[in-house]
């Protein structure tokens, strides 16, 4: 074959690739998930407890890793290899373990992150419906990742529909999705997460004040500015709710270490993913970080879980913030040895002052 013919074929091939790439970016841009700054969310289920009483309340937070980031998993985002670690059977097994945890702890309020509704990475299983029915009570979902086709890496992530989910034994007065600042610009933003806060309000018996519960999953894979901007907005909302006279709880995956936890779980390889840092000095008077460093709350997905490996990296990035009118009774990181997720759940007991 002549050189001119080869070059012509190559040029046609490159042209087709460019046309497909431009078409894909255009399609993703047109179909991009662009929620309003504040959106009221649908509340599902039914609760027999109409109001919050002046008694002990248990709150459980758990990043469930969409049921496919258990002990056998690693991830290309953390220096591992896999895009999807397990098969459908793995996801179902992990879900069964998570369901058992929910039943055993029977928390009054449950905050779950990385709950998939219909995603390729978790084989289309509607985890929202499964876990909502398992926990009982009322539940709502704030979407933070909606994309019909995430085109990276190879093999691609594909379709994602996921978010943060709050379940409660109490009757929900209102649930709102509040958009957080997005640190990514176009075209990356078209197929990336749109982080949010899911704020759920509950009536308190004998008062017109509310219990405001904020479920969060802050930025992970940014240059650090996204975490800072989102944390700043979180604090603005926390202080605004408290100024109204409400009782305020924020919980979830901060993707930032709690004060002092780096001393117990130091960073082993700074070239891999590192969290931001929550500073004690950032707390307004009377506010409190709530966490337990007796066990790690998260592991790095640079390799499948191996507690004996020198490369196993732990973090304390899951926990709570409570307002001055909320009294802490206890907090415990439940050591599940990362059996079903790359996170361990954290259980808090509080009472309203």
Residue range 251-309, pLDDT digits in tens: 999 999 999 999 999 999 999 999 999 999 999 999 999 999 999 999 999 999 999 99
| Cα–Cα dist 297/314, whole Å | 7
| pLDDT surpassing 80 at residue 13 | no
| Cα–Cα dist 126/65, whole Å | 14
| pLDDT surpassing 70 at residue 62 | yes
| pLDDT surpassing 80 at residue 2 | no
pTM metric for this prediction: 0.93
Question: What pLDDT does residue 23 have?
Answer: 67
The domain segmentation of the chain, as residue ranges, is 1-30, 35-352
* Superfamily of domain 35-352 in the CATH hierarchy: Endonuclease/exonuclease/phosphatase (3.60.10.10)
pLDDT band at 155 (very low <50, low <70, confident <90, very high): confident
Please give the average per-residue pLDDT across 43-68, as a whole number: 93
Question: What pLDDT does residue 153 have?
Answer: 86
| Cα–Cα dist 88/343, whole Å | 20
Question: What pLDDT does residue 300 have?
Answer: 98
Question: What pLDDT does residue 11 have?
Answer: 62
Question: What pLDDT does residue 185 have?
Answer: 75
Please give the average per-residue pLDDT across 51-69, as a whole number: 95
| Cα–Cα dist 213/309, whole Å | 38
| pLDDT surpassing 80 at residue 57 | yes
pLDDT in tens, 163-215: 999 999 999 999 999 999 998 878 778 889 999 999 999 999 999 999 999 99
Give strand ranges (E) for 34-168.
Answer: 38-40, 44-46, 57-63, 109-116, 137-150, 158-168
pLDDT band at 24 (very low <50, low <70, confident <90, very high): low
Question: What pLDDT does residue 44 have?
Answer: 96
Q: How far is CA 65 from CA 19, 122, 260, 336, in A?
A: 35, 10, 25, 14
Question: What pLDDT does residue 201 have?
Answer: 98
Question: What pLDDT does residue 129 have?
Answer: 96
Identify the residue with better confidence: 7 or 246: 246
pLDDT in tens, 217-232: 999 999 889 999 999 9
Please give the average per-residue pLDDT across 136-142, as a whole number: 96
Q: How far is CA 165 from CA 111, 168, 240, 243, in A?
A: 6, 10, 22, 26
How many CA within 13 A on the CB side of residue 307? 8
| pLDDT surpassing 80 at residue 77 | yes
Q: How far is CA 306 from CA 70, 72, 74, 266, in A?
A: 12, 9, 11, 17
Q: Of 334, 330, 336, whose CA–CA distance to 58 is shortest?
A: 330
State the greatest distance between any 2 C-alpha atoms of the chain, in Å, as a whole number.
88
Question: What pLDDT does residue 301 have?
Answer: 97
- Write out the two tokens for 249: 């709880």
pLDDT in tens, 298-343: 999 999 999 999 999 999 999 999 999 999 999 999 999 999 999 9
Q: Mean pLDDT for the chain?
A: 92
pLDDT in tens, 81-138: 998 878 999 999 999 999 999 999 999 999 999 999 999 999 999 999 999 999 999 9
What is the bridge-based pairing of β-strands 172-179 and 38-40? antiparallel
Q: Of 276, 209, 305, 306, whose CA–CA distance to 248 is shortest?
A: 209
Percent of the chain surpassing pLDDT 90: 81
Question: What pLDDT does residue 32 have?
Answer: 82
Task: Name the 3-class secondary structure at 6.
Answer: helix
């Amino acid at each position: 074959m002549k050189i001119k013919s080869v070059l012509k074929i190559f040029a046609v091939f490159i042209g087709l690739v460019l046309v497909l790439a431009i078409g894909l970016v255009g399609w993703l841009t047109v179909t991009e998930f662009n929620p309003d700054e504040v959106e009221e969310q649908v509340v599902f289920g039914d609760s027999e407890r109409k109001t919050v009483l002046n008694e002990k309340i248990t709150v459980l937070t758990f990043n469930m890793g969409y049921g496919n980031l258990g002990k056998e998993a690693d991830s290309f985002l953390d220096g591992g290899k896999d895009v999807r670690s397990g098969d459908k059977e793995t996801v179902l097994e992990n879900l069964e373990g998570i369901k058992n945890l929910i039943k055993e702890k029977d928390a009054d309020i449950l905050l779950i992150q990385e709950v998939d509704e219909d995603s390729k990475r978790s084989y289309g299983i509607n985890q929202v419906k499964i876990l909502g029915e398992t926990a009982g009570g009322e539940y709502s979902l704030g979407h933070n990742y909606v994309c019909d086709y995430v085109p990276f890496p190879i093999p691609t992530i594909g379709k994602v529909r996921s978010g943060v989910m709050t379940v409660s034994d109490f009757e929900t007065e209102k649930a709102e999705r509040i958009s957080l600042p997005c640190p990514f610009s176009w075209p990356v933003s078209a197929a990336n997460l749109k982080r949010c806060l899911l704020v759920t309000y509950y009536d308190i018996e004998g008062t017109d004040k509310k219990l405001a519960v904020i479920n969060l999953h802050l930025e992970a894979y940014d240059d650090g500015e996204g975490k800072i901007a989102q944390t700043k907005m979180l604090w603005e909302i926390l202080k605004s709710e408290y100024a109204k006279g409400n009782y305020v709880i924020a919980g979830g995956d901060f993707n930032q270490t709690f004060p002092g936890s780096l001393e117990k779980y130091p960073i082993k390889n700074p070239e891999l993913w590192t969290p931001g840092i929550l500073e004690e000095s950032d707390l307004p008077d009377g506010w409190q970080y709530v966490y337990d460093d007796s066990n790690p709350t998260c592991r790095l997905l640079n390799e499948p879980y191996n507690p004996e490996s020198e490369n196993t990296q732990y973090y304390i990035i899951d926990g709570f913030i409570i307002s001055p009118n909320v009294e802490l009774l206890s907090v415990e990181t439940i050591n599940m040895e990362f059996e079903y997720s790359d996170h361990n759940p954290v259980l808090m007991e509080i009472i309203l002052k």
